[in-house]
């Protein structure tokens, strides 16, 4: 085979060639197109994508871990408590503004319930179970045990029938959970203090009218 003269290659941009250099010992660089480097980078990206994925809040076919599921439950609980608080104000208040807004508040209470079912389905996918098990949430008493099971049950570390595992939880998630727990406790206490006077009046009138001497 005829030897290749470097003077014949000086017009090819992919080769690191200096036309003003006359060093005969200079050789053509290895992998001039950078193919090996590009392939190695693509392999690293593919491997990282196979390990985890970003959480998609719209897609119901992906997976979420235990900490994200607990965070979602607490956030929905907080929304439900705030909505219930305003609903009670709307019912007990004599203002026409609250009366007109009570219907919208009742409709807004549906969102946390729907969100819990949505996130429960993705949590079931994380342990390689079908989303039909979400119906256990609708069963009284058993739903509490079922949710506790989902909170403590570890998911599959690798890819399962429902996709890739979610990325590791950041430390911020734990801080958010603690803050939401505090907000839920505060909301429960405020709601209880607001309802207690009406509950005491109801018990008084109920005992009064149930008295045989009345």
Q: What is the pLDDT of residues 12-64, one digit of tens each?
A: 554 454 555 544 444 444 555 555 555 555 544 444 444 444 454 455 567 88
CA angle 95, 75, 178 (to 5 degrees): 120
Pairwise CA distance, residues 171 & 169, whole Å? 7
Whether pLDDT at 121 is above 80: yes
- Read off the pTM: 0.54
Across 182-206, b (16+ Cβ under 10 Å) vs e yields ebbeebeeeeeeeeeeeeeeeeeee
- Predicted local confidence at residue 51, as pLDDT: 44
Mean of the per-residue pLDDT values for the chain?
A: 67
Q: What is the pLDDT of residues 125-154, one digit of tens each?
A: 888 888 888 888 888 888 889 988 988 888
Pairwise CA distance, residues 187 & 3, whole Å? 84
Query: How far apart, in Å, do the first and last CA atoms of the chain sit?
Result: 121
């Amino acid at each position: 085979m005829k030897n290749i003269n470097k003077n014949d290659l000086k017009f090819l941009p992919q080769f690191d060639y200096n036309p003003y250099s006359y060093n005969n010992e200079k050789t053509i660089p290895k992998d001039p197109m950078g193919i090996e480097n590009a392939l190695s980078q693509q392999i690293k990206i593919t491997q990282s994508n196979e390990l985890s994925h970003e959480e998609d809040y719209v897609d119901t076919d992906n997976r979420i871990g235990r900490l994200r599921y607990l965070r979602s439950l607490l956030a929905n609980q907080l929304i439900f408590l705030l909505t219930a608080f305003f609903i009670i104000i709307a019912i007990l208040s004599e203002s026409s503004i609250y009366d007109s807004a009570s219907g919208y508040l009742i409709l807004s209470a549906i969102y946390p319930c729907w969100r819990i079912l949505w996130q429960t389905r993705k949590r079931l996918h994380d342990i390689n179970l079908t989303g039909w098990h979400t119906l256990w949430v609708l069963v009284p008493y058993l739903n509490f045990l079922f949710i506790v099971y989902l909170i403590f049950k570890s998911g599959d570390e690798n890819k399962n029938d429902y996709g890739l595992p979610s990325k590791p939880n950041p430390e911020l998630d734990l801080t958010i959970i603690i803050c939401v727990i505090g907000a839920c406790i505060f909301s429960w206490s405020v709601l209880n203090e607001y309802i207690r006077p009406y509950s005491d009046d109801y018990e008084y009138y109920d005992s009064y009218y149930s008295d045989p001497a009345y």
